[in-house]
Chains A and B, each alone.
Chain A
Amino acid sequence: MVLTQFLVLGALMFSIGVFGLLSRRNAVTILLSVELMLAAVNINLVAFEAFWNTAAAHGQIFAIFVITIAAAEVGIGLAIILLVFRNRASGNIDELDLMRW
């Protein structure tokens, strides 16, 4: 195994996530795409950790930070979606244009 294969895989996953982010309309699916991007980041972090092979496993620690923060993000994100849905009966973010001029 070499580092490049993981980096390329990570890049691929991240691009797929970006695609989902831009092409989706439903808020839940957008969050799912964000999760894909975070997973890609985690692959990179762990792969680099294996590459540098540091004594303190910095990459893995960061991966765990990412997982934690992603969990918080999902919680808040879903709470917001829930709130939006309660007020507008729709999960479609295109209709969220209250902040528009």
Chain B
Amino acid sequence: MTLADWIAEPVNWAFLAMAFPMVLAALRVVTSRNVVHAALFLVLALAASAGLFLLLSAEFVAWVLVLVYIGAVVVLFLFGIMITRAPIGKETNLSHKKIWPAAVASLAVFGVTFWLIYELGEQVGGFSDTLPAVGQATPTEILGEGFINIYLIPFEAVGFLLLAALIGGITLARKDLSPAEEREGAGL
């Protein structure tokens, strides 16, 4: 498929319309000098990726992303920002002074990954063919069956992980009481 063919497909315009804001938002997440703005740009990036999932007919994943990430995780972030009294507003020492090592490393990562994609495309083939599944939404039923058939044990493991995270989060974040306070039952 040539670039001209690619551009001629309207669905790719939609892709570009989401990918560009996504990359820009991602850049702002890592460069913004305001923590709250960074978190909000993350929302934008994630919303765009949810849109891409819709394009890829992964509707359930898209909505899970919206609900869990945009709905819960980002809110958690904002809470975290506020509770830690991280400066809301511009701040200078959010990033290191010298960013070139980070730039070099990330460019290296991009380069290697790009090369990896090329190599893999050569070996597997078909990377430039139109994706077959697009257009028919994956039924949630299939996902549900996958969870409780093939991936039952990972599913349980993730459930356990969430429990562990819950308990861990509480244990970490609760106030340590002095023995006197504990006797009075304060903070429970």
Listed in ascending order, the chain A residues whose CB lies under 8 Å from chain B are: 1-9, 11-26, 28-29, 31-33, 35-36, 39, 42-43, 46-47, 49-51, 53, 55-58, 60-61, 63-65, 67-76, 78-83, 85, 91-92
Contacts and interface: CB of A to CB of B under 8 A. Distances in A.
Nearest to B46: A39
Contacts of A19: 30, 99, 102-103, 105-106
Given A33-B29, A71-B68, A79-B173, A42 B61 contact: yes
Interface string B148-161: 01110010001001
Contacts, number: 262
B interface, by DSSP: helix, strand, loop or mixed?
helix
Contacts of B35: 26, 28-29
B58 to A, nearest CB: 5
Given A3-B127, A51-B131, A28 B86 contact: yes
A23 B69 contact: no
Given A24-B95, A36-B29, A83-B172, A53 B55 contact: no
Contacts of B30: 16-17, 19-20, 23-24, 29, 32-33, 36
Interface in B5-64: 6, 9, 11-12, 15, 19, 22-23, 26-27, 29-30, 35, 38-39, 42, 45-46, 49, 52-53, 55-58, 60-61, 64
B73 interface: yes
Contact of B96 (A25, A31, A76, A81): A25
Q: Most chain-B Cβ atoms within 10 A of its Cβ — which of A13, A23, A50, A92?
A: A23
A53 B165 CA distance: 33
Contact of B9 (A1, A15, A29, A55): A1
